[in-house]
Structure 1
Amino acid sequence: MSRGTRSAHHDTTASPDVRMLLRQHGLRCTPSRIRVLNLFSESGRHLSIAEVCGRLARAGVAVHHTTIYRTLESLTAIGLMHAVHGPGAARYGISAEPHHHTVCQECGEVSAIASRHLTDAVGRVEELTGLRPDSSGSLLVYGRCARCD
């Protein structure tokens, strides 16, 4: 691929907002951080490290899985991303709007549910258990997705 040709998934250009966000959290604007943030922003899905590497490779960018792991861990540590653990590999997502997750115990697919849709359920969990989720807290609901049923 020529230097002038860019794919959306490996584009290392970042909006001033992405650059400012990384800098506000004390992180440099490295190509891998920008690529990962672009990929997750565009996909709108929770992805495993292997899925991120695969998508980048298909876009013509070879990035070692260790680099992706370190990138995701650094973005998770500052709260820009989050990890969802379920069966199989952890899946990562962007921490934008507060949300909860469903996790398929068969295939590991992770879906997000906006917190506003589960306000009553979270209140009931708190009432029954005394557990009060903080702003980064997430309910995890495990089951089987429609594809695996």
Structure 2
Amino acid sequence: MTTTSPSAHTDTTTPPDASVLLRCHGLRCTPSRLHTLAMLSRSGLHLSSAEACAELHRLGAPFDPATVYRTLETLTAVGLTHAVHGPGPKRYGISSEPHHHTVCEQCGQVGTLASEPLREAVERIAEFTGLRPGASGSLLVYGRCARCGD
């Protein structure tokens, strides 16, 4: 069963397994949870709570900022999404593949780095420093994005 957004002119249908995922994690299938999972899944981006709220509004799912924030925190608490801390607001993402993150020190933009190509580098970092990926399985790499430059 798919759930559609309040607006007939946008495509924010939730993936068929979203309700199953929510139930498997002990969560009710509320509209905000279903729409937020669908939006993050389709975008492939890491968004702040405010950015997620704006995107949901753009897609015709006008949830208030507090609801979006609580939804993101709930989804993160059960492991359906992950949070990346950096300068500025916490950003939330969803991915079925293990990955690391880049974080721009100036604007806070978060990018994704596939884990497999960096496997050897991560092993070397662990060898030299003892530092290993955290509970999320991710390392954060800080620098400046192409937009912010030097």
TM beyond 0.5: yes
| Contact 1:47/1:93 (8 A) holds in 2 | yes
Separation in 2, partners of 1:135, 1:61: 32
Q: Does 1:90 align with 2:86?
A: no
Unaligned runs of 5+ in 2: 1-5
Quick one: distance in 2 between partners of 1:114 and 1:4?
Answer: 35
Instruction: State the secondary structure of the residue aligned to 1:108.
Output: coil
Identity rate, percent: 60
Matched with 1:27 is 27
Match of 1:73 in 2: 73
Q: Cα offset for 1:146?
A: 0.7
Shift of 1:70: 0.9
Q: 1:38: Cα distance to partner? A: 0.7
Q: Distance in 2 between matches of 1:141 and 1:101?
A: 6
Aligned-residue RMSD, C-alpha:
1.9
What TM-score comes out, normalization by structure 1 length?
0.89
Mapping of residues 1-149 of structure 1, within 5 Å = 5-9=8-12, 11=13, 13-15=14-16, 17-133=17-133, 136-149=136-149
Q: 1:108/1:132 Cα in 2 relative to 1: closer, same or farther (>3 Å)? A: closer
SS at match of 1:71: helix
> Hey, which bits of structure 1, 4+ residues long, moved more than 6 A?
none
Q: 5+ unaligned residues in a row in structure 1: which ranges?
A: none
Q: Which moved more, 1:124-133 or 1:42-51?
A: 124-133
Q: What is the one-letter code of the residue matched to 1:113?
A: L
Residue 24 of structure 2 aligns with an amino acid whose one-letter code is Q
Distance 1:102 1:44 in 2: 14
Q: 1-side partners of 2:82 and 2:135: how far apart?
A: 13
In the alignment of these two chains, the number of paired residues is 145
Contact (CA 8 Å) 2:44, 2:95: kept in 1 or not? no
Letter in 2 for 1:148: C
Alignment check: 8 A CA contact 1:8 1:38 kept: no
Once the 2 structures are TM-superposed, how far is the Cα of residue 20 of structure 1 from its aligned partner? 1.1
Helix, strand or coil for the counterpart of 1:28?
coil
**Structure 2 length as normaliser, TM-score?**
0.88
- Give the 3 Å change call, closer, same or farther, for CA 84–127 of structure 1 in structure 2: same
Cα deviation per residue 1:38-97 (whole Å; 9 max; x = unaligned)? 101111111111111111222233211111111111110111100111111111000421
Secondary structure in 2 matching 1:138: coil
Does the 8 Å contact 1:81/1:95 carry over to 2? Answer: yes
Q: CA deviation at 1:137?
A: 2.1
